Structure 1
């Protein structure tokens, strides 16, 4: 069987690369680079950081794929599987990844060193629990396809039943185990659990502080301060001195990243997820339902009826207008004819008057004097 896990290390990226590429641990054919060359990987990763001006903070992420010592798999196949996983990990797109398979121990395992800065856009690596879950599921699918064993839920890598402590995530599990063994004080554990829980849903620094306040914890997060300080407000009000803890102390106790940069990346991911879900809900609301379509068709029919009615009215007006024009022309012709008749009658009357005013002289007519 094969398992995937994230490795938390304080070593610099150069030391990490030197370690995973040691000749006594691997062979040249078992070292590959994704978006980089193994021989110049340190220079390439450093050049990417300098190009985008991001040489501070966490410089890389470290993951390991391990096969059980009894698993029948060759180093070459294990390395091929690891390269395939890296190539299809969406979160690593645009990041240089060094892949080195070790054969110096009883079990074959492969290291992934991922540059924290994206060479395409300069963004820091965005990595969530969902991404790790996807990586593990693809690892299990590889094992199934190759007839290898798949880890059983509730059992350790060696096949033993897990201890009584149960938690939803590896981070929470580590916290609870530390508390069980008495290695940390109760209020430190409570604050750490609250931080892990609140950062899962917070979409900004302000939201995170509000959620922590609602749980009874103060958060002193200032740009001018290097660290975040958390306060158990109930213990502080009770006058207890042991009531505060800084993020760097939490990292030391639990070997986890509680720093500002990591928190803000988590908030950004949550904000993008929330925005995407909101967009989906908005899109679903504007889709027309069956009643809406029926109403639209009804409206279209109504518009058509109105248009037909208007056309009918227009034709009627035109018809009436045409008829009116014909009647007007007929009246004009009648008036003209009447005027012509009256004029003819007038002229005839005048002619009769002229004839009547003449007297007969001899054989000729002559005007009356």
Structure 2
């Protein structure tokens, strides 16, 4: 499943355009899967070359001022079977179709929570010099195109207004750049989400769930008279279950947790036996994934292998 988001903050200066391009390409400090649609004379994709290519088109049409670009993000659920190469191809096809006639920088980012592609589009068309505008209706059209591409690539297509997990998606799908930057680096909200996910899989009761989270540094305010669960640490950082659900496209609620606890109580002992005595937590599994991802090969097999390791590790801890 691909989810399309529009970054709400759009640069209106050349300095802002440069910052956006450098951010998406991570200041050229990493080798990223990337491509540029439309006129582009360089063999290599770099911040300076993309920035200059965008400015060349603006100068040609004498439209150097006001909004410089738009920034969209297509992200995929972490359980979706899509490789980085496929994500780049998907992003390029999306840009060439929806932003036809405009240069677009497409860059794939790989994070432990999800795979996603950034699309930074020049605001001036290289065909006729028209400025690019985006509205709420445009977002609806982007979603329609996204569903078509999901079908073409054999990915999950969610019900309208629902996330991958089937929960309601609240409001307009825009993306705050500050929150995106926080998620990409190791952060409290990422740490909280990882801890909650781990505790959910390991727990058979609410008490076990709360006890596990306390052992890893997270307190839980779970009151049935209140609508939301609140998770907080000793540093004073607080996150609602609804915030985690929207941020990571993963349902976290009282109802979902109670259902999972019941499923864990009813689950039969797995027939899979560990072949060696190892202790794996989420971090070690993610490290394995990170090394394998760099090879950009056999990604789909890795999903199945990682899922098998998860089940063995969870059975041992139970």
Q: Normalised by the shorter chain, which TM-score bucket?
A: 0.3 to 0.5
Q: Tell me which protein shows more helix as a share of its residues.
A: 1
Q: TM-score, normalised by structure 2?
A: 0.46
For the pair shown, which has the larger CA radius of gyration, 1 or 2?
Answer: 1
The structure, 1 or 2, with the larger RCO (C-alpha pairs under 8 Å, 6+ apart) is 2
Q: TM-score, normalised by structure 1?
A: 0.40
